[in-house]
Each structure stands twice: as C-alpha cells, then as structure tokens.
C-alpha cells in the first residue's frame, strides 16, 4: 500500500477540535506552556552511552546532559510493555489491571502477548490534550494485544485511540529496521523508500517527527505540543548502517571483562557511582536470563570472541546512528526557536537485553534470517555490515553495558533495573545544568513530573471515565536540590531493589549510591 499524506498540504489547515475536547491553552504568569519531547530508546544499558561512562559515542545525549540532569537511580521494569505503560500513564502496571506482557513465540508456539491500558488509566496524551496540547506518537507502541494488529481489528488501543493526534510507527515489540511494519495514524503503509536507497527506521521516524511538529506549529503557532518518539534501537532485530558499524571495528576486541573495568572507572570520574564501588568477578555474576553465567572473556575461543565483538560493534553503531538522528530533531527545534521552551526527556525504556546466549552466537528461533558474510557486498548503502536483522549481541555484553551491577535486567531481584535518564529544561536548570542526581525514581514518575512542570493537575476523569490515582511522584524537586531526600517510592516494584556490585551488595540502591566518598552535588 502506498504511503499517504507524506507531502506538505497545499495550504495550512485550521486547527480542529480533537475528538470534541475543548481547547484552552494553559499558561503560567502569561508564559506559554512548555512543549514536551520524549526520546525513548530501547534496551540501552546504563553503562553504554559515553555520558554515562560507556564507550559508545552519543554526542547528542552528551549535549542534553550538559544542559540538563542525568539520573543515576532511575528504574524501569524488566519488560517493554510495562515500562511504556508507566512512562505514558504514571501508574504501576501491576496495580491497574494491566495484562501480562511478553514477546512470546521464540519457536515455542506461544503467540505474542500485549497489553491494553484501561479506560480508568488516562495517558499523558489524553491529559495534555484536554488542556490544549497537540500530541504526536512515533515509533514503538507495544501497548496493544497482538490480535488487534490485524487490518480489521479494533483501533481503540492504538495511539489515536489513546489521545494522540497523529501516529507513525510500529505496533508490536519488534520490527525490522530496514523493512518495518509501519502504521500511519490508523492504516498500514509502506516505507517511503527501500534499504537500497538508504532507508532506515530511525531516520524515517525523525523525518516524521519533524514533519508533525512543523505542521502543527504552522497551523497553531501558540499551541504547545507533546511528541513521544520511541525508537526500535537498540532492541532486536538490529541493523546498523555499514559506515556507522565500521566506526567501531575492533573497538570491543578488549572483551566484556575489560569493558566493565573501563566503564566503572569512567563512571566514577563522572560521579555516577561511589568512588569505592567495585565489580563482582566474572565467575560470581548472576546467571543470564536464559542460560549459564557469563564465561570469562579469556575462556572463549577465537571465533566466539570475533562473533561477540562484532555483534557489540553493530550495537554501538546502531546506537551512535540513532543518536545522530535525534540530533536532527534537536537542531530543528533550535532553529525554529522552540528548544528552550521544550522539556526533553531522553531515556531508555529498558536496560540492556540479556536474551542472547552468554558468548554471542545468534538465537536461531528468534528471526528467520541469516548472518551476512562480511566478505560479501551488501545490496546497497543501507545494508548492515556488522549485523543483519536478528543478530543478538551476547548476554555477557548486556551485563557489561549495565556496569557496575551484577545481574541483567531479566534477572533483577527487585523487579526493576537502573536505566539512563536525562531531563533537559533550560527554564529551570541553568544553574544545575550538567549535574547528576542520585534520588531513587521510577518510570512512573515521569508523567507527574511533566504535569508539575506544565502546571496541570491530574484530572479526576478522562473522556468521562473516573481515573485511578497516579502513583508516580514528581521529580521536579531534584532540579535545584541535588542532595534532597528521595521522594521516589520503591514500592512501585515488587520490593526494594538492592545494588549488586561487589562493593555495595546487599545495600539499598539509593543508600549505596550516596556513599561518603561521592562528591557533593551541584
């Protein structure tokens, strides 16, 4: 099916009511309400980005961190749907009637299971839409049960049914980066061009995000907007453009044991972990999600090392490529004068994925595609050199990307895992920009933070349905109070999470992260 509505309209269409809601632009002391941009990564480990002490270059995340705040103890659930549920509703997925979520399948005959957000749990798009915001959703949704993906299925649980004015992306847990299953608003569409012509999903999502925002501003310049951009990167199936994967050729040949040592040192220098934190030896690490504990790098064969490092290179290339695309959105906002009035929330919905095998060979049941032979030319500029759809980096690399913790996200005993989070809002962060915050918080705390910053109360009802209480708490108090006691509630997970590095094993996370040797916060 050909894609619809890709070109600019001949004229500017007047802004219309959204499903009958009354528009009243919020203001505070005559000041325009802030725009909101969510930049949601998938499966980015806490020690992968260089601004968090990793070795993967993410200059756009660095730039956001320099003009905002990094959070060292922001936690997300182990599974994708629950994390997105919390990010968009401010509720704990286990306490609001959410169905069990999981990708399923994997050759075992189980269908993919999804979730449906209850009507009593309004999304941020529905709440903001009721006060005059336009809302756009792009990329991964993963908040509808699989049976509703069908062409003839109900669209009520799709993004437009949950408050967004426009949607462009994929509905399920995963899709190909090169030939994705795309939906525009409520209809399936084809990608605008082929991988041979340079198509990549991350680039396409950014193109559409800019188009949505630009067209909304043309129609109603004073109307604030909320844009939720959720990338497939760095979840499987991974496909890094050749030139980006090649930037890291040989960059992970040191192995994951050495990577952990290097990342820990970097994280200490950045003030993200206490100066006396240590690492659990490889042999003492927890078991991977579906296999034995990670073997030491030196115990691998030469071929296993090559495969493992090559998959990590592809992961890094895809990460840097996606970061570059994010920079295009930020540059557009800067050039159009919107950036300083925009709250940017950049985060990963989950920590690094440890579903791969311990040493890195592919999971044959995951995707029916083959690995490319590096000596064979690809079909075009968009062909991935280091990884085809379906290649998984090893579970041991996922463990390394989560330094200094001892367990992977799938094995977390607390029901959640620390993930990267950057919040940038120059209006309130000029004096604190570039700082780090150690307070414990959860994915459910983002929605109340946005509402607090926008001066919007949580509604008692949405679309005529009485609402369940928002369980998250606002993080705004941390913007100017680096050492304030944590207001986050670990009860959002099954029990209080505990740090698992060698030096802090058994201590509560926030206590361990506020060690006596940590420098004072700004």
pLDDT tens across 376-389, in order? 333 333 333 333 33
Look at the block and give the residue holding tokens 């029990």.
495
Structure confidence at residue 15 (pLDDT): 34
> For residue 68, is it left (φ>0), alpha (ψ between -120 and 50) or beta?
beta
- pLDDT at 237 (0 to 100): 73
Neighbours of 108 (CB within 10 A): 7
Instruction: Tell me how crowded residue 337 is: count the other CB atoms within 10 A of its CB.
Output: 9
Q: Which domains does the chain have, with CATH numbers?
A: 27-513 (3.40.720.10)
Strands (E), 387-451: 416-418, 421-424, 435-437, 441-442
- Per-residue pLDDT band at 116 (split at 50, 70, 90): confident
| Of 288 and 406, the one with more pLDDT | 406
Token pair for 124: 């941020």
Q: What is the average per-residue pLDDT within 412-429?
A: 84
Q: Average of pLDDT values for 473-502?
A: 69
Q: Which of the two residues, 374 and 421, has the higher pLDDT score? A: 421
pTM here is 0.82
Give the model's pLDDT for residue 140. Answer: 95
Q: Rounded to an integer, what distance in angstroms lies between the CA atom of residue 31 and that of residue 37?
A: 18
CB atoms within 10 A of CB 117: 24
Chain-centroid distance of CA 126 in Å reads: 21
- Using DSSP's 3-state secondary structure scheme, residue 269 falls into helix
Predicted pLDDT of residue 147: 67
Cβ–Cβ under 8 Å, residues 78 and 417: yes
- 10: burial class by Cβ within 10 Å (0-12, 13-18, 19+)? exposed
- Which of 215, 181, 208 lies closest to 328 in space, CA to CA? 208
Q: Using 50, 70 and 90 to split pLDDT, how confident is the model at 399? A: confident
209 closest CA partner among 131, 133, 124, 135: 135
C-alpha angle 126/43/125, rounded to 5°? 5
Model confidence at 311, pLDDT cuts 50, 70, 90, reads confident
pLDDT value for 279: 87
The whole-number pLDDT of residue 65 equals: 97
- Among the ranges given (7-16, 171-180, 259-268, 331-340), the one the predictor scored with the smallest mean pLDDT: 7-16
Average pLDDT over residues 391-396: 60
* pLDDT tens sequence across 3-54: 333 333 333 223 333 333 334 444 434 468 999 999 999 888 899 999 999 9
Q: Categorize the per-residue pLDDT at 238 as very low, low, confident or very high, splitting at 50, 70 and 90.
A: confident
Pick the range with the lowest mean pLDDT from 118-132, 190-204, 465-479, 493-507: 493-507
Q: How far is CA 178 from the centre of its chain?
A: 19
pLDDT score of 196? 92
Q: How far apart are CA 470 and CA 450, in angstroms?
A: 13
Taking residues 452-473, report their average pLDDT: 94
Q: How many CA atoms lie within 13 A of 135 on its CB side?
A: 26
403 vs 14, more confident: 403
More reliable by pLDDT, 210 or 404: 210
Report whether 192 contacts 204 (CB < 8 A): yes
CA distance 151 to 422: 37
Q: Looking at the predicted structure, is the pLDDT value of residue 128 above 80?
A: yes
Could you report how far apart the first and last alpha carbons of the chain are, in Å? 54
Q: Give pLDDT, residue 394.
A: 67
In order of 175, 323, 376, 382, 421, the CA distances from 197 in angstroms are 19, 21, 19, 7, 34
Q: What is the pLDDT of residue 114?
A: 52
pLDDT of 362 > 70? The answer is no
Give 64-100 pLDDT, tens digit per residue.
999 999 999 999 887 888 889 999 999 987 764 544 4
Given the DSSP bridges, would you call strands 435-437 and 69-71 parallel, antiparallel or unpaired? Answer: parallel
Asked if residue 167 lies in contact with residue 138, where contact means CB atoms within 8 angstroms, the answer is yes
Q: CA-CA distance, 377 to 200, in Å (whole number)?
A: 18
Nearest to 477 by CA among 428, 444, 518: 428
Summary mean pLDDT of the chain: 78
Does an H or E element contain 334, and which? helix 302-335
The pLDDT tens digits for 422-446 are 999 999 998 899 999 999 999 999 9
Q: For position 145, what pLDDT does the model report?
A: 76
d(CA 149, CA 174): 13
Residue 2 has pLDDT above 50, yes or no: no
pLDDT at 495 over 60: no
Dist. CA 191–CA 195, nearest whole Å: 9
Q: What is the mean pLDDT of residues 349-360?
A: 60
In angstroms, rounded to a whole number, what is the distance separating the alpha carbons of residues 194 and 385? Answer: 17
CA 470 to each of CA 130, 467, 495, 509: distance values in angstroms, whole numbers, following the listed order = 17, 8, 19, 24
């Amino acid at each position: 099916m050909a894609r619809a509505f890709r070109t600019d309209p001949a004229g500017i269409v007047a802004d219309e009511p959204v499903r009958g809601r009354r528009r009243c632009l919020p203001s505070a002391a005559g000041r325009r309400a802030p725009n909101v941009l969510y930049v949601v990564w998938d499966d980015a480990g806490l020690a992968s980005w260089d601004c968090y002490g990793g070795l993967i270059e993410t200059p756009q995340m660095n730039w956001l961190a320099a003009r905002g705040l990094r959070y060292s103890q922001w936690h997300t659930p182990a599974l994708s749907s629950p994390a997105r549920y919390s990010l968009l509703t401010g509720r704990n997925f286990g306490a609001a009637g959410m169905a069990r979520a999981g990708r399923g399948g994997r050759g075992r005959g189980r269908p993919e299971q999804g979730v449906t957000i209850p009507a009593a749990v309004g999304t941020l798009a529905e709440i903001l839409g009721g006060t005059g915001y336009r809302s756009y959703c792009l990329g991964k949704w993963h908040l509808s049960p699989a049976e509703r993906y069908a062409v003839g299925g109900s669209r009520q649980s799709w993004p437009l049914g949950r408050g967004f004015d426009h949607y462009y992306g994929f509905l399920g847990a995963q899709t190909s980066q090169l030939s994705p299953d795309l939906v525009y608003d409520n209809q399936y569409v084809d990608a605008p061009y082929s991988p041979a012509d340079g198509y990549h999903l991350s680039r396409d999502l950014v193109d559409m995000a800019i188009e949505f925002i630009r067209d909304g501003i043309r129609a109603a310049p004073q109307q604030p907007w909320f844009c939720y951009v959720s990338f497939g990167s760095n979840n499987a199936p991974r496909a890094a453009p050749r030139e980006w994967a090649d930037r890291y050729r040989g960059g992970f040949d040191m192995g994951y044991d050495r990577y952990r040592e290097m990342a820990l040192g970097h994280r200490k220098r950045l003030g993200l972990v206490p100066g006396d934190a240590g690492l659990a030896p490889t042999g003492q690490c927890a078991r991977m999600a579906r296999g034995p504990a990670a073997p030491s790098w030196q115990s691998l064969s030469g071929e296993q090392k090559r495969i493992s490092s090559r998959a990590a290179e592809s992961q890094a290339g895809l990460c840097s490529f996606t970061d570059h695309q994010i920079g295009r959105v930020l540059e557009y906002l800067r050039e159009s004068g919107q950036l300083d009035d925009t709250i940017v929330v950049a985060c990963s919905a989950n920590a690094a994925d440890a579903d791969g095998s311990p040493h890195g060979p592919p999971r044959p049941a995951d995707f029916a595609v083959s690995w490319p032979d590096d000596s064979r030319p690809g079909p075009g500029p968009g062909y991935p050199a280091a990884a085809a759809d379906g290649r998984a980096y090893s579970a041991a690399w996922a463990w390394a990307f989560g330094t200094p913790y001892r367990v992977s996200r799938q094995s977390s005993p607390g029901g959640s895992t620390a993930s990267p989070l950057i919040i940038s809002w120059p209006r309130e962060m000029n004096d604190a920009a570039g700082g780090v915050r150690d307070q414990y918080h959860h994915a459910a705390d983002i929605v109340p933070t946005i509402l607090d910053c926008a001066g919007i109360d949580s509604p008692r009802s949405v679309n005529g349905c009485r609402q369940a209480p928002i369980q998250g708490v606002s993080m705004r108090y941390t913007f100017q109070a680096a050492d304030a006691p944590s207001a986050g509630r670990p009860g959002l997970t099954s029990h209080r999470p505990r740090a698992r590095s060698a030096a802090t094993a058994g201590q509560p996370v926030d206590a361990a992260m506020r060690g006596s040797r940590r420098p004072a916060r700004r």
